[in-house]
C-alpha cells in the first residue's frame, strides 16, 4: 500500500460517528485541516474532542464515516498513520523515574532511530532543558514536564501532531512557552490539530478554527471568517487596561530559563 500524493489537506474527516453504548458522542463529524496549519478544535466538556482525536490517532475505531491523515485511511492504513503522527494528551506522559534525557533516548530507540543520544541532546537544547537533562523528570515543574512531553512527541519529525488540551493546568508563563513551541512547529511545516477550551489560545495560535458541539462540527474557518458570522461591531472608545496575565508576564518576565 502506498500513501496518496501529498495534498493540500493533512486531515480529512467525512461523516464520522462514534457511540459508547446508548451515548452518541460523534454524530457525523466533517472536518478539513490544511497541511502546515494549526487547527484549533473548540468545544465544551463532553463535546467529543478527545474521542475525535483518538480516532484520528488510530486509538479508537469509528462506527461509521471515514478519516484520512497524511494521505492514509485511519482504518485501512492504521500503521502508516501511526508513523506519520504524534499525540500529546492532556497529561504529560513522561516517565518520572527516568531523567529528561533518558526519556528522550528511550523514545528514539523505540522508533529505531540512529544516534538516539544526539537526538536527545538536540531536543533538550531546543526546549531549553539542557541543564535539567540529567535530573529525574519527577523533579520537573509542570511547564518543564509539558515541554519534555512535547519534545518526546516530536522525535522522528512527524508531519502531523495532535495536541489534546496541552496547556491544561499550566501557569500563564508555562502556557506562553507551549504557545511558542506550537507556533514554531507550524512555521516548520508541521500540521497541528489542537484541542482546547481556552478561547484565547485558539485566537493566538490557530490559522483555522473548528467548533465541535453535541457531536458535530457546527462551524469551521479562519478567525476572520467566523467573526463575520456576527453583526458588525459598533465603535466605542474604551480605555484598555492590561489583563492580569499581561501584568504577571511583565513582572515575572519570559526569560526562557528553566524552572527550578
Is residue 139 classed as helix, strand or coil in its secondary structure?
A: helix
Cα–Cα distance measured from residue 40 to residue 95, given in angstroms and rounded to the nearest whole number: 28
For 53-76, the pLDDT digits (tens) are 999 999 999 999 999 999 999 999
Handedness of CA 70, 162, 82, 76 (dihedral sign): negative
Percent of the chain with pLDDT over 90: 56
Cα–Cα distance measured from residue 242 to residue 58, given in angstroms and rounded to the nearest whole number: 43
Quick count: other Cβ atoms within 10 Å of Cβ 24? 15
| Residue 177 main-chain phi, psi, to 5 deg | -65, -40
How high is the mean pLDDT in each 10-residue block of the chain (260 residues)?
Answer: 58 97 95 94 88 96 97 95 88 86 95 94 92 95 88 92 86 84 89 89 91 91 82 69 64 54
Cα–Cα distance measured from residue 215 to residue 43, given in angstroms and rounded to the nearest whole number: 10
Quick count: other Cβ atoms within 10 Å of Cβ 130? 16
Return the C-alpha cell found at 43: 468545544
For 140-193, the pLDDT digits (tens) are 988 888 889 989 988 999 999 999 888 887 788 888 888 888 898 888 899 999
Fold category of 9-94+140-221+232-252 in CATH? Rossmann fold (3.40.50)
Amino acid at each position: 500500500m502506498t500513501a496518496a500524493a501529498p495534498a493540500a489537506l493533512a486531515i480529512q474527516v467525512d461523516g464520522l460517528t462514534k457511540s459508547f453504548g446508548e451515548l452518541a458522542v460523534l454524530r457525523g463529524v466533517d472536518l478539513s485541516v490544511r497541511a502546515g496549519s494549526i487547527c484549533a478544535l473548540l468545544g465544551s466538556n463532553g463535546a467529543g474532542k478527545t474521542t475525535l482525536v483518538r480516532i484520528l490517532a488510530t486509538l479508537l475505531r469509528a462506527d461509521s464515516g471515514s478519516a484520512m491523515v497524511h494521505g492514509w485511511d485511519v482504518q485501512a492504513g492504521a500503521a502508516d498513520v501511526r508513523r506519520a503522527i504524534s499525540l500529546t494528551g492532556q497529561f504529560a506522559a513522561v516517565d518520572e523515574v527516568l531523567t529528561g534525557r533518558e526519556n528522550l533516548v528511550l523514545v528514539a530507540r523505540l522508533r529505531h532511530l540512529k544516534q538516539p543520544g544526539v537526538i536527545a541532546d538536540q531536543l533538550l537544547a531546543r526546549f531549553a532543558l539542557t541543564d535539567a537533562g540529567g535530573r529525574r523528570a519527577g523533579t520537573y515543574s509542570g511547564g518543564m514536564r509539558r515541554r519534555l512531553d512535547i519534545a518526546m512527541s516530536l522525535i522522528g519529525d512527524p508531519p502531523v501532531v495532535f495536541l489534546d488540551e496541552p496547556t491544561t493546568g499550566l501557569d500563564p508563563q508555562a502556557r506562553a512557552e507551549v504557545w511558542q513551541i506550537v507556533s514554531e512547529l507550524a512555521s516548520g511545516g508541521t500540521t497541528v490539530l489542537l484541542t482546547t477550551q481556552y478561547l484565547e489560545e485558539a485566537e493566538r495560535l490557530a490559522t483555522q478554527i473548528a467548533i465541535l458541539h453535541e457531536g458535530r462540527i457546527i462551524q469551521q474557518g479562519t478567525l476572520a471568517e467566523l467573526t463575520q458570522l456576527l453583526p458588525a461591531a459598533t465603535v466605542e472608545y474604551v480605555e484598555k487596561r492590561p489583563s492580569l496575565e499581561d501584568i504577571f508576564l511583565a513582572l515575572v518576565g519570559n526569560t526562557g530559563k528553566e524552572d527550578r
